[in-house]
Amino acid sequence: MSTVAPQKHLVEIVSLSELSLRHRAALNAILLRRRATTPALSGVNLPSKVDDVAAPGNGFAVLAWSGENNLSAAVIGTIFHNSDPGCAAFEGVNPVVSSTTMFTSAYSVANIPQPFDLIRSSYPDTDRITLHIPLGDAVTATALGHLGFTLDSFLALRAGSAHTPLPSVNGFNIRAAQGQDAAKIANLHVQHIEDQLPTSAFVSTAALDSRDGVEDLEKRIREGATLYVAEYDKTVIGVIETSQFDVPNDGKLRRTPHGRAGVVQWVCVVPEYRGRGVGSALINTALNELNNSQVDYTYVFHGANNPLSTSQFWQRFGFCPTWGTWELNVE
Ligand SMILES: CC(C)(COP(=O)(O)OP(=O)(O)OC[C@H]1O[C@@H](n2cnc3c(N)ncnc32)[C@H](O)[C@@H]1OP(=O)(O)O)[C@@H](O)C(=O)NCCC(=O)NCCS
């Protein structure tokens, strides 16, 4: 695609579908080396081959060479178009503008001079670059900080499916959501996005426009989406949504282990009722339901800078942050 020659390294960006044998061999060597030297991290599957990283069709590699065959650092990324406006506020919601996701879990960006300028010029419609790195990868985290990235959110994992005792519930009750709760749940979804806006530059107000409409939500509830509501005096004061799916054991780079994964999609309590145990009761109910379904683990994305939903809060329920998502605005 294009090439620049900074002081010490030759840096190039290449589509994964156009990798030469030399590229491939050098990338595989760097991946293997990084895999061998990265301490085992719970829930992190590091790839050993470039083919395990991304679908060749939409992927690219930025390679920094310090000699003919000496690849000193690499970043591999995939281009994706956001198309999941549902609940994943942290994924950013803009179905029109393309974004770049880059997995640096297996490489260090520390030695690459200005790699993102190349990405910017090669993919001019990219609005932001998202990098997911294991929390133990301090070298890459430091490099990203220097390159202007900010740590935006965590993927926190709760291993196993141990039983979670339900707390005593005073004055409110928890029940499965029904179709007629859809309007109240939609309001809470807006609230939940608004709660993220002050501390995440990448939760856009577009998330509010493209959120589930009330009819869509009602349909999803009727079709079996897993949502619980907290009710006080016949009013919905909180909601939680979970899902579950199988993560295949196919050797590809994934941020979570293979097996049956439970996901806490989102949880929100009406501001006036926060701090009274409603959120805990919702989370414990949802975890019990996931445990009954025998998930192998559960994960949640939560903001790195949101005082309403901290690591400390999620640790109360056994969630431990394992990956960080770093973001750079390149508009
Ligand atoms: C996160 C949220 C659901 C928690 O609901 P809540 O009803 O206030 O939580 P609880 O009252 O059950 O809190 C349980 C305990 O955690 C503590 N806690 C609550 N929020 C906390 C936080 N942000 N950091 C650390 N501890 C926290 C409470 O003090 C309480 O401790 P205690 O049992 O010792 O009194 C609520 O703050 C919320 O709706 N936030 C906005 C939406 C959001 O950010 N959602 C998360 C992303 S999906």
Domain positions in the chain: 2-153, 158-321
Amino acid, single-letter form, for residue 62:
V
More confident residue, 77 or 293: 293
pLDDT at 285: 94
Hey, which of 39-53, 95-109, 185-199 has the most confident mean pLDDT? 185-199
Residue to probe by mutation, ligand 1, list 313, 316, 317, most atoms within 8 Å of CB? 313
Query: Token match 């879990």: residue?
Result: 105
195 lines ligand 1 (CB under 6 A): yes
Q: Do domains 2-153 and 158-321 have the same CATH topology?
A: yes
Tell me which long-range contacts 249-254 makes (C-beta under 8 A, separation of at least 24): 251/45, 251/47, 251/52, 252/45, 252/47, 252/52, 252/53, 253/45, 253/46, 253/47, 253/52, 253/53, 253/54, 253/103, 253/105, 253/106, 254/45
Topology adopted by domain 158-321: Aminopeptidase (3.40.630)
pLDDT at 211: 54
| Closest Cα to atom 46 of ligand 1 | 309
Handedness of CA 252, 253, 254, 257 (dihedral sign): positive
| Whether pLDDT at 110 is above 60 | no
- What does 11-74 look like in DSSP terms, one character per residue? EEEEEGGG--HHHHHHHHHHHHHHHHHSPP-TT-B--SSGGGTS-GGGEEEEEEEEETTEEEEE
35 lines ligand 1 (CB under 6 A): no
pLDDT at 245: 94
Position 169 confidence tier, pLDDT thresholds 50, 70, 90: low
Q: Residues 33-75: pLDDT tens digits? A: 766 655 544 445 566 777 776 555 566 777 777 777 777 777 7
More confident residue, 271 or 123: 271
Region 2-153: CATH code: 3.40.630.30
Position 2 confidence tier, pLDDT thresholds 50, 70, 90: low
Contact partners, residue 119, CB within 8 Å, separation at least 6: 13, 60, 62, 77, 100, 126, 129, 330
pLDDT at 331: 65
Which atom of ligand 1 is nearest to 302's Cα? 47
